[in-house]
């Protein structure tokens, strides 16, 4: 398992401190970039992500929940280990988005809403490094996990074959269901509320690793 904590539920008044408290226990930092149009929420954009990029050595997992991912991708300062994920439902075509992200030298990812047919991402599996399965409706943190997402993960595993893309899952994941998500075939687990809404986020991360069967200290 690789763990990517989502900062959407963190205290933005001390965001860097919140990340630094857990940075040695996780594999990525997940950023939910929302434009208020593609989803009914408005969060942050390149200035915030880029300012943190200078201070955090972990790879960034940047989830673009925006209409124009191909247009805005070049505004992010990214490196080879970072991931920029766009939605298949966005206004820019998947080919445009993948090309724009590849030109930046980082890894392209593709995502889809829970009710979008999985068949829409299948033509792009040879072109991306990451597929993000949304297990809640994108837009807000703290939602309940949709159990039907497990079947989508299993279906992606069957489609993967010898392809090298990773399967990430985002939404409503905590100690009670993280094992089921991994058993279905997920490689990367994105967790927000279960970490940053906990009294002790560092202890919450440890509980996640324990529940996953991979204790870390």
Please check whether residue 125 lies inside any domain of the structure.
Answer: yes
Whether 217 is in a domain gets the answer: no
In tens, the pLDDT along 177-213 reads: 999 999 999 999 999 999 999 999 999 999 999 999 9
Radius of gyration of the chain (CA): 16
pTM of the model: 0.95
C-alpha closest to that of 53 among 75, 72, 71: 75
**Tokens 């992200």, located at residue:** 101
Q: What is the mean pLDDT of the chain?
A: 96
At 198 the pLDDT is 96
What's the domain range around 7?
Answer: 2-212
CATH number, domain with residue 151 = 3.20.20.70
What average pLDDT does this structure show over 146-156?
96
pLDDT in tens, 99-131: 999 999 999 999 999 999 999 999 999 999 999
71 is a domain residue: yes
Contact 169, 132 (CB under 8 A): yes
User: Is there a contact between 166 and 26 (Cβ–Cβ < 8 Å)?
Assistant: no
Give the pLDDT confidence score for residue 162 in this predicted structure: 85
In a domain, 184, yes or no: yes
Q: Is residue 65 part of a domain?
A: yes
Mean pLDDT for 164-175 is: 96
Q: Residue 32 catalytic?
A: yes
Whether 88 is covered by a domain: the verdict is yes
Catalytic: which of 24, 27, 32, 187? 32
Residue 35 annotated among the catalytic residues of the structure: no
What is the tally of structural domains in the chain? 1
Options 24, 170, 187, 200, the catalytic residue: 170
Q: How far apart are CA 63 and CA 87, in angstroms?
A: 9
Residue 213 has a CB neighbour count (10 Å cut-off) of 11
The CA distance from 195 to 208, in Å, is: 9
Q: Evaluate whether 28 touches 58 at the Cβ level (below 8 Å).
A: yes
Helix residue spans in 21-92 (DSSP H)? 46-53, 69-72
142 has a pLDDT exceeding 80: no
Determine the pLDDT at residue 138: 84
What is the pLDDT, as a whole number, of residue 217?
Answer: 65
Chain centre to alpha carbon of residue 107: 13
Token pair for 125: 């599996």
For 13-72, what is each residue's pLDDT tens digit?
Answer: 999 999 999 999 999 999 999 999 999 999 999 999 999 999 999 999 999 999 999 999
């Amino acid at each position: 398992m690789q763990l990517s904590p989502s900062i959407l539920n963190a205290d933005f008044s001390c965001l860097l401190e919140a990340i630094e408290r857990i940075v040695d226990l996780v594999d990525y930092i997940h950023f939910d970039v929302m434009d208020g149009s593609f989803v009914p929420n408005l969060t942050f954009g390149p200035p915030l992500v880029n300012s943190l990029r200078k201070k955090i050595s972990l790879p960034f997992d940047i989830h673009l929940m925006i209409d124009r991912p191909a247009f805005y991708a070049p505004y992010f300062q990214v490196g080879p280990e970072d991931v920029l994920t766009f939605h298949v439902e966005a206004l820019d075509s998947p080919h445009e988005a993948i090309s724009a992200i590849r030109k930046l030298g980082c890894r392209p990812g593709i995502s889809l809403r829970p009710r979008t047919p999985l068949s829409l991402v299948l033509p792009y599996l040879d072109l991306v490094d990451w597929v993000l399965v949304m297990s809640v409706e994108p837009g807000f943190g703290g939602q309940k996990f949709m159990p039907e997402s497990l079947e989508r993960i299993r279906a992606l595993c069957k489609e993967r074959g010898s392809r090298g893309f990773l399967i990430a899952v985002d939404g409503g994941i905590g100690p009670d269901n993280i094992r089921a998500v991994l058993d279905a075939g997920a490689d990367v687990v994105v967790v927000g509320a279960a970490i940053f809404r906990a009294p002790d986020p560092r202890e919450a991360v440890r509980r996640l690793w324990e529940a996953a069967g991979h204790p870390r200290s």
